[in-house]
Amino acid sequence: MNFTDRQVVVTGGTGALGSAVVGALIAAGAACRVPYRHAAEAQRFAHRDHARVTLVAAGDLADEAAVARLYDGIPPLWASIHIAGGFAAGALAATDKAALMGQLDSNLVSCFLCCRAAVKAMTATGGRIVNVAARPALEWRAGAGMTAYTIAKAGVAALTVALAEEAAKDGILVNAVAPSILDTPANRQAMPQADHAAWPKVEEVAATILFLASPANRVSRGGIVPVYGKA
């Protein structure tokens, strides 16, 4: 999976999974453009000083202007990987419209707008798009108690499959991964009694994303790949 001289956008790249993806990409030779919303994200980002990492103060990726700034002037784009999103649990009766729209904006709208910008950038050259859904996007009953999040991530899955069919003629292969709970320090702190050994590691999920985004992937499109580990 050689990414030498290939340009890749990684939204959510400063987070736990995103950092693993960016680290794997730069080890494979890629140049990564990584947006951030708050300065603190950039400051704690492990790869911020790497010569092939460009940090962009993009702001809210549910805003069209912010997404335009992120993709503006980028050299020929090979891959766009969309990890940015947010999680909120809550019973339906306790979830108001503002909470629903927050989940839709952070997860689905941001993904839609970045997919749109990526397709525009890749139409003449081809490329790869990888989105991040979630286990409840495939297993809806698992979304009980987090209905707004489940709706948003199911939308990401539907977007991925529909766009994969639409963009294939332009040589753009679109796929997604659907993680279960990831083994991160934050998740361990939130669920100290869980079986952490069963959770997929961010490096393992990053490896799947890297393949789907790579030139080695020549035929896979429209897939929502479960990355559950042993969970």
Cα–Cα distance for residue pair 39/34, rounded to 1 Å: 13
pTM of the complete model: 0.97
User: How does residue 199 score in pLDDT terms, banded at 50, 70 and 90?
Assistant: very high
Give residue for tokens 């990987």: 81
Q: What is the pLDDT of residue 142?
A: 95
Residues of the chain above pLDDT 90, percent:
98
- pLDDT, tens only, 127-163: 999 999 999 999 999 999 999 999 999 999 999 999 9
Cα–Cα distance for residue pair 11/80, rounded to 1 Å: 8
Domain boundaries, the chain: 7-224
User: How does residue 1 score in pLDDT terms, banded at 50, 70 and 90?
Assistant: confident
Is residue 133 a contact partner of residue 126, using CB atoms and an 8 Å limit? no
Q: What is the pLDDT of residue 198?
A: 95
Give residue for tokens 């956008």: 9
Any bridge partners for residue 173, and if so which?
128
Burial class of residue 42, CB neighbours in 10 A (0-12, 13-18, 19+) = middle
Residue 55 is inside which H or E element, if any? strand 53-57
Q: Among 2.30.110.10, 3.40.50.2300, 3.40.50.720, 1.20.810.10, what is the CATH number of 7-224?
A: 3.40.50.720
- pLDDT, tens only, 153-193: 999 999 999 999 999 999 999 999 999 999 999 999 999 99
Cα–Cα distance for residue pair 161/24, rounded to 1 Å: 25
Q: What is the pLDDT of residue 231?
A: 87
Pick from 94, 98, 108, 28: which is nearest to 61 by CA? Answer: 108
Cα–Cα distance for residue pair 117/129, rounded to 1 Å: 11
Average pLDDT, the chain: 97
Quick one: average pLDDT of 93-115?
98
Burial class of residue 17, CB neighbours in 10 A (0-12, 13-18, 19+) = buried
Cα–Cα distance for residue pair 152/156, rounded to 1 Å: 7
Which are the catalytic amino acids? Answer: 149
Q: What is the pLDDT of residue 151?
A: 98
SS3 state at 109: helix
Alpha carbon separation from 103 to 37, 38, 60, 87, 91 (Å, rounded): 16, 19, 13, 7, 14
